[in-house]
């Protein structure tokens, strides 16, 4: 168990009991990202209230390490209830701060969360005609 000593209590709590794990049926937006270096794959599902444009529900499905799962859960908590514009500003550092830190070798896991959210928002905006094409290439790794 010594490898778990590198994680904060917040990371371990979110890994062992994630509140936001799951899939949303008929989502308004979906984003999928993967990190070929470590094998983590994350899928983010959004449900959006149209007026005002707020994230009313967000779920994740992540295949990955302790940090990837905890980062996904923290991301969902940060984004839920935010407007789309506010959610676009969520950074990797905000996720790390929410987790009260990550081992430096695991920082790349928080990058997946912010990228996955941006892809899900982009998918939503494409579906409603706000943007004409997706600028982020789909990553199905």
Count of helices and strands (H, E) across the chain: 5, 3
Calpha distance 98→92 (Å, rounded): 10
Q: DSSP 3-state assignment of 138?
A: coil
Percent with pLDDT over 90 in the chain? 67
Calpha distance 119→32 (Å, rounded): 7
The residue length of the chain stands at 141
**Tokens 């990553």 -> residue:** 139
Return the pLDDT at 135: 65
The separation between CA 45 and the C-alpha centre of its own chain, rounded to angstroms, equals: 9
Active site residues: 38, 109
Contact assessment for residue 114 and residue 95, using Cβ atoms and an 8 Å cutoff: yes
Q: Which residues contact 56 (CB under 8 A, 6 or more apart)?
A: 47, 48, 49, 80, 81
81-132: per-residue pLDDT in tens?
A: 999 999 999 999 999 999 999 988 888 777 788 899 999 999 999 999 998 8
**Full set of structural domains in the chain with CATH:** 2-127 (3.90.1010.10)
What is the pTM (predicted TM-score) of this model? 0.87
């Amino acid at each position: 168990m010594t490898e778990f000593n590198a994680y904060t209590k917040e990371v371990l709590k979110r890994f062992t009991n994630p509140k936001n794990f799951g899939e949303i049926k008929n989502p308004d937006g979906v984003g999928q990202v993967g990190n070929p270096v470590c094998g983590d794959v994350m899928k983010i599902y959004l449900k959006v209230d149209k007026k005002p444009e707020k994230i009313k529900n967000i779920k994740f499905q992540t295949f990955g390490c302790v940090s990837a799962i905890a980062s996904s859960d923290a991301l969902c908590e940060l984004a839920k209830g935010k407007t789309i514009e506010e959610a676009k500003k969520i950074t990797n550092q905000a996720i790390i701060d929410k987790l009260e830190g990550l081992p430096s070798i695991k920082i790349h896991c928080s990058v997946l969360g912010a990228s996955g959210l941006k892809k899900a928002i982009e998918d939503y905006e494409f579906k409603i005609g706000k943007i004409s094409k997706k600028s982020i290439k789909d990553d199905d790794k």
